[in-house]
Chains A and B, each alone.
Chain A
Amino acid sequence: MLTLLLAAGVIPEQSGVETGVFDVPDERVAVAAKLQAAAAMGTGIPFGAARWQQPFDPADHLPYGFSFDAVLEEGETISEVELIALSSAGAALGVIIDQEAGFAPVVDDDGGRRIQIWFAVDPAMQDTAPFDAAGAQVPVTFRILTSKQHRLERTAVLTVRQL
């Protein structure tokens, strides 16, 4: 019944945004560029996507951040995170964005311009060959709605390899 009322618009859908403490060191924060370069990076990866400087070991469970700070206007904040999507390569490797309580994605409660997510890898996949040597490139796409009703979608690439 509730679903029908939501679909009919009788009850407004609760969107909002989960906020929390953004506790991520700089090397694990990727920054969306205001002007994105047109450099090819591979199939399924947008040209000029941002990169996380710190690679991720498949046995790690750590927070990583994505900053829209350079893209947003002065005073503009993230009012809704619509989508966070992993690539097909990430799915093949058992990489996941954690959604468990305490580890689910949050928007920085100090400024509202950055998103924190926790990565993990399926334990059954942690010792597989693709993580050896240079590892694998895993793009993650973020789509947000801002306080100025701007919708932005940007991608960052995570290197997952044995450290």
Chain B
Amino acid sequence: MIVDNGTRQPLIIAGVFEGMAGVAGGFVSFIPNRAGKAPGKAGAGILNGVPVLLKPTKDADGPFWTSRFEVIE
């Protein structure tokens, strides 16, 4: 049995978020803490030092924005 509790990793999204985000199963979740840009407009960020493509959407309930992420090669 595998119990996957996910991880917390540093995420930087210019104008949207800088801090520790939750990562699990190809998704990243964060609560915006910068006001320079609308979170839904964020298309990319740096996750644990690696550039990633993002497409965040607000969770229906609760404060989180969640996105699938793809590593930019």
Q: Is B1 touching A82 in the complex (CB atoms < 8 A)?
A: yes
Given known A85-B25, A88-B28, contact A130–B64 (CB-CB < 8 A): yes
Contact pattern, B 5-38, Cβ under 8 Å of A = 1, otherwise 0? 1111000000000001111110111110000000
Q: Is B67 touching A135 in the complex (CB atoms < 8 A)?
A: no
Q: Is B57 touching A86 in the complex (CB atoms < 8 A)?
A: no
B1, B57, B60, B66: the one contacting A88 at CB < 8 Å is B66
Contact pattern, A 75-108, Cβ under 8 Å of B = 1, otherwise 0? 0000011111111111111111101000011000
Q: Is A89 touching B62 in the complex (CB atoms < 8 A)?
A: yes
Q: Is A91 touching B2 in the complex (CB atoms < 8 A)?
A: no
B73 CB-CB contact with A under 8 Å? no
Name B's interface SS. strand
How many residues of chain B have a CB within 8 Å of chain A?
Answer: 28
Q: Is B1 touching A83 in the complex (CB atoms < 8 A)?
A: yes
Q: Which residues of B contact A40 (CB under 8 A)?
A: 60
A42 CB-CB contact with B under 8 Å? yes
Q: Is B22 touching A92 in the complex (CB atoms < 8 A)?
A: yes
Q: Is B59 touching A89 in the complex (CB atoms < 8 A)?
A: yes
Q: Is B4 touching A88 in the complex (CB atoms < 8 A)?
A: no
A134 CB-CB contact with B under 8 Å? yes
Q: Which residues of A contact B2 (CB under 8 A)?
A: 82-85
Q: Which residues of A contact B20 (CB under 8 A)?
A: 92
Q: What CA separation (Å) do A26 and B62 show in the bound complex?
A: 25
Q: Which residues of B contact A99 (CB under 8 A)?
A: 3
Given known A83-B2, A83-B4, A91-B5, contact A42–B22 (CB-CB < 8 A): no
Q: Which residues of A contact B27 (CB under 8 A)?
A: 43-44, 87-88
Return 24 A-B CB contacts under 8 Å, by A number: A43-B57, A43-B67, A80-B1, A82-B1, A83-B3, A85-B2, A88-B28, A89-B66, A90-B5, A90-B24, A91-B6, A91-B8, A91-B24, A91-B29, A92-B30, A93-B22, A99-B3, A104-B3, A130-B31, A130-B64, A134-B61, A136-B59, A136-B62, A137-B59
